[in-house]
Amino acid sequence: MSVHSGWHLAAFTSELASDISPLDLGSRRLVAVRDGEDLRVYDADCPHRGAHLGHGGHLEDGCLVCPFHGRRIRLGEPERGGGPRRWVREHQVIVWGETVFVRLADGPDDDRGFTRAAKELAGTHHLVPAVTRRVAVDPRLVVENAFDTDHFTALHKVYRVRGMHHRTGSEGELVMDGEFPMPASPWQGTRGTAPQAAYVPRFLARAYSPGVVVTEFGPPGQIHVIVTAAVPDGEGGCTVRVAVGAGRDHEGDLPMLVRGSERALAEDIAVWEHLNPHATQRLDAADEAVAAYRTFCTEFTDLSTGDTDDRGSET
């Protein structure tokens, strides 16, 4: 399964309890390193003989010591003329609440505005884990759902969708924007208020890579954030992670957000398990946003083949 450039929701913080943790994304071998409160991510292949630095490696004077031959490997590209010549590349990391995002950058355009958006939303919404599931499908199919309008009503029994339009955002992200009108709010009853008026939440989804989509859902003043992401698992499928966040005045909605995420993913899996990925597909006019997402995916580089870094070597 291909590993693309750009952003990945690589793990929840609870999955990285050790100071040194393997953090593989399909065929891309990474290692997460904790130094106090700081979390950094590097390529994991030792430049000496290819051992995985995340399995048995340890920190010593700012270097990772390889468990195979004890070579000291510098974390990040060395300054000219200084430190060990063997090194592994560092990758950009964003820790948002309890989620860890890693950018496998092939070029400056692969951010697509995610760094800015995550910083802004993190100020109002603390992300918590909702679901982690291994699914035997291409990870791109998971994010594609945000752009598949008809499946919301047919599969998830959403009462109604309205005005769903896709566009390219100002920083190259793919945007889906519309409304999910409902007779009443699904949240209001949990707080004991009554009676309920019509509820018209905005659905605003932004894909920042083939594997990460951030959805803001709700009317002004009651916005919930749902991050849906998938990474290849190296076994022909993917690991799906869903994280959710509620504004400070609506944190009581989190349990329902988690349950809703679990239910929606289970409904998707019931279809995916019986999907024929080799069947000829005939998209129609209702699938324009799906086609746009598939084109969006082609704009990212496949990093599955070839050497993964510019590691130094000693002679």
Dump pLDDT digits (tens) for 281-300.
999 999 999 999 999 999 99
- Measured on CA atoms in the order 117, 119, 125, 129, is the torsion positive or negative? positive
pLDDT at 189: 52
**Residue 249 region by backbone torsions, left for phi larger than 0, else alpha for psi between -120 and 50, else beta:** alpha
For residue 103, is pLDDT > 90?
yes
CB contact at 8 A, 167 and 159 = no
For residue 82, is pLDDT > 50?
yes
Across the range 267-273, mean pLDDT stands at 96
Fold of 6-106: Rieske Iron-sulfur Protein (2.102.10)
Fold of 114-297: Naphthalene 1,2-dioxygenase Alpha Subunit; Chain A, domain 1 (3.90.380)
Supply 31's token pair: 């290692």
Dump pLDDT digits (tens) for 197-252.
778 999 999 999 999 999 999 998 889 999 999 999 988 899 999 999 999 889 99
Dump pLDDT digits (tens) for 44-56.
999 999 999 999 9
Supply 136's token pair: 């035997």
What is the location of CATH 3.90.380.10 in the chain?
Answer: 114-297
Q: What is the pTM of this model?
A: 0.92
Strands ordered across the beta sheet of 128-135:
128-135, 238-246, 224-232, 212-218, 202-209, 174-179, 162-168
For residue 17, is pLDDT > 90?
no
Across the range 19-26, mean pLDDT stands at 94
What is the location of CATH 2.102.10.10 in the chain?
Answer: 6-106
Band of residue 315 on the pLDDT scale cut at 50, 70, 90: very low
